[in-house]
Amino acid sequence: MAPDNQMTVPNGCTPCVEALQASPTWLESRTRASLVLANGSVFHGFSFGHEGPTSGEVVFNTGMVGYPESLTDPSYAGQILVITFPLVGNYGVPSDEQDELGLLRHFESSKIHLKAVVIQDYSFVPSHYTAKRTLSEWLKEQRVPGI
């Protein structure tokens, strides 16, 4: 068990360690972002993942787990997904490991199909043994904004 002043991160997750070490700097330098709806409603938050504008139909998902699967689900193509479960990012993103048939083991397809993702509380330091990268890093790789 780690002393009270130390946090542990999953083995093999260098991005997780880097995220933990960078978290105070990240908190101080967060970029503000807004979700603007067609009816004029504006929701403010902070950007994570790819920083850039986008547009799309806003839809929601009420699932409690499985954000890697939701983000790679082709049925969400071109949409902005609001995940209603309050904490997202806490178990990071697993590897791109393939099964014996050559299919990705942890995802519904080979890429994120969303235009953006909206969450309530982003956990920028994952704590799961399968985490190979943070959600923010994955979104940056795929050029998908998060708020």
pLDDT at site 27 = 66
Whole-angstrom distance, CA of residue 146 vs CA of residue 140? 9
- What pLDDT score does 15 carry? 60
Strand 87-88 to 57-61 pairing:
unpaired
4 in helix, strand or coil?
Answer: coil
pLDDT score for 13 = 63
Residues 6+ apart with CB under 8 A from 63: 70, 83, 85
Query: Both tokens of residue 50?
Result: 């790819």
- Give the helix ranges, DSSP H, for 1-147: 14-28, 67-71, 135-142
Angstrom distance (rounded) from CA 45 to CA 146: 10
HSE (side-chain half, CA atoms, 13 Å) at 9: 19
Q: Please give the model's pTM, rounded to 2 decimal places.
A: 0.78
121, burial (CB in 10 Å: exposed 0-12, middle 13-18, buried 19+)? exposed
Question: What pLDDT is stored for residue 2 in this prediction?
Answer: 43
Q: Classify residue 93 by its DSSP letter.
A: B
CB-side neighbour CA atoms (13 Å) of 34: 7
User: How confident is the model over 36-94, as pLDDT tens digits?
Assistant: 999 999 999 999 999 999 999 999 999 877 888 899 999 999 999 999 988 888 888 88
Per-residue model confidence (pLDDT) at position 22: 63
Q: And the tokens for 112?
A: 């994120």
Query: Which pLDDT value is given to residue 99?
Result: 86
Q: What is the pLDDT of residues 83-127, one digit of tens each?
A: 998 888 888 888 888 889 888 777 888 899 999 999 998 887 888
* Region of poorest pLDDT, from 4-8, 33-37, 122-126, 132-136: 4-8
